[in-house]
């Protein structure tokens, strides 16, 4: 017979232990979310830099080759890190599309139209 409040199976964690673990999980997730927001803010600032540079290079906001390059790199990183490739592709596709629209808005009338044609043959815009 077990005492009141004890688990029937001593190998099973108590409800209190499970609640403590869940609280820890939430604390870690919250901290990770804060880190992700910080990284996205840094990424946004780099998009703002690109929007200042691209018009002078004649590069539009959307560069299909660069989109493919970023998605391929992210897919490789997701495999390496054990992240769901479905999650990675959904998130980065949304981030890229938002970034292109944001860049286009920032460039305004200075935004070149159409696909980028690299005039120097080597540099790939962001």
Number of domains forming the structure of the chain = 1
Answer yes or no: are the C-beta atoms of 64 and 117 closer than 8 Å: no
pLDDT digits (tens, 9 = 90+) for 50-96: 999 999 999 999 999 999 999 999 999 999 999 999 999 999 999 99
Instruction: Report the CATH number that the domain containing residue 19 is assigned in CATH.
Output: 1.20.59.10
pLDDT digits (tens, 9 = 90+) for 12-61: 899 999 999 999 999 999 999 999 999 999 999 999 999 999 999 999 99
Model confidence pTM above 0.85: no
Answer yes or no: are the C-beta atoms of 71 and 96 closer than 8 Å: yes
Helix axes 15-57, 85-107, angle to 10 degrees: 40
Domain that holds residue 75: 15-110
- In-domain check, residue 122: no
For the chain, how many helices (H) and strands (E)? 3, 0
- In-domain check, residue 99: yes
Alpha helices in the chain (DSSP H): 15-57, 64-81, 85-107
- In-domain check, residue 3: no
């Amino acid at each position: 017979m077990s005492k009141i409040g004890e688990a029937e199976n001593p190998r099973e964690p108590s409800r209190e232990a499970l609640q403590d673990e869940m609280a820890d999980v939430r604390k870690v997730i919250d901290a990770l979310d804060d880190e992700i927001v910080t990284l996205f803010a840094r990424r946004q600032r780099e998009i703002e830099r690109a929007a200042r540079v691209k018009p002078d290079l004649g590069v539009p906001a959307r560069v299909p080759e660069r989109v493919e390059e970023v998605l391929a790199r992210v897919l490789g990183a997701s495999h390496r890190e054990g992240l769901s490739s479905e999650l990675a592709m959904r998130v980065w596709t949304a981030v890229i599309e938002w970034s292109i629209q944001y860049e286009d808005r920032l460039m305004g009338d200075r935004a070149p139209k159409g696909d980028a044609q690299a005039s120097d043959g080597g540099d790939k815009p962001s």
